[in-house]
Structure 1
Amino acid sequence: MVYKFRVILDNEEDIFRDIAILSNDTLEDLHNAIVQSFDFDGLEVASFYTCDDTWNQEDEIPMFDVGDIPGEQRVMSDYVLSDILDTENTKIIYVYDFINMWTFLVELAAVEDVVAGAIYPETLFTHGIMPEESGEKNFMADEDQESYNEFEDDLDEDDLDMFGGEEGYEDYGFEENWN
C-alpha cells in the first residue's frame, strides 16, 4: 500500500508538501523524504512525536538512540509506517533541527494501491516557499497557568543567585577552586 501524507510547516504562511511513500517503509524513510521535499541539507537531528487527534505531543521517536542503555530506545528506523499510522491514527509531529525548531504537522491523507512503475517516496505536490528562518515559537503557559513573569516582581537578587548571595561557596562544603 501507498501512504499519502500532507506535511505542513507550522508557520503563519501556508507551506506544505504532499508525499507518497510505501506503507512498509520506516519513519526514517519518511524523515528523508521530508528533508528532500523541503530542501533541507539533512545535516541536523530530527525527531517524530506521536500525538493525539488535536496535535498534542506525546512520545518522542528520535533519529538516534540517546538512551542510557544502548539498544534500549527505539529509533525512527525501528518503526514501520503501517505499525504506527493507519486510517484511525493519522497524525504525527516532525521536528527538524532542534536549534531552529522547524516543526511540521504530518497527516496521513490517503491509503492507496501501489502504482506500477512509480518510484517511492515521491513528492506529489509542493505549495509555498520555505522562509529563511523558522517562525518564532510561543512557549507560553496555558491560560489557567501562571507564567514566570507573574513571579518575577516577587524575586530579589538573592533568589536568583545560585551560590546563596553573600555567603558564597562555604555552605556547600567545597572550595571555590576545587579542581
Structure 2
Amino acid sequence: MGSRAVTSILFLCTGNSARSILAEALANHMGGGLIEAHSAGSFPKAAPHPMALQVLAERGITGDFRSKSWDEFAAPGAPPIDIVITVCDNAAGELCPIFPGRAIKAHWGITDPAAVEGEGQRAAFEAAYDQMQARIAALLACDLSAIASPDFPPVLARIGQMSGATPGKEPIS
C-alpha cells in the first residue's frame, strides 16, 4: 500500500453535542490514520451530551470531545477541510449550518438522539451510533484518494441515504 494523504472531515450539526460528536469520534477511531475528523456546530451547546459520551465510552472510544463553534474552522490558521458533512436536518426543525469554502459537501441526516427524553434515550443514541458507524465504514471502503473526482460527491450522497436517513433536505451546495 502506497502512502496516502490524510483526508480531513468536518462533521457539522447545530448543537455539536450528539450526532456530530459521534461522527467525529467514530471517524477518528475507525479511520486508521486515513481520516482526521473534527466536529462543530452553528450554535454549539456548552458540552457534549452525556449519553453520547457514555455510548462511546462503552464501546471503547474515549477522547477530549468538546462542543465547539464552526467559526473555529473558518478562522485563519484552521486546519484545511477536505469534506464537510452535515448530520442534522431542517425537517426536524433545525437550522443546519452552511460551511463556506471549497470542501466537498454532503448531508448525512440521522434522527437527533438528544431530542429523545427519558426511557428511549439510550436506544436513540445507540441507533444513531450504529447508523453513523455504518456510514463511516462505507466511507472508508471508498478510495479516499479520489475525493477530487467528480464521481466522489454522489458517493457521499449515497452514503447519506443509508438505513436511518432522515427524509430531510438536499445536500448543501
Report the TM-score when normalising by structure 1: 0.27
The structure where helix makes up a greater share of residues is 2
Task: Report the structure number with the largest CA radius of gyration.
Answer: 1
The structure where strand makes up a greater share of residues is 1
Using CA pairs below 8 Å that are at least 6 residues apart, which structure has the higher relative contact order? 1
Report the TM-score when normalising by structure 2: 0.27
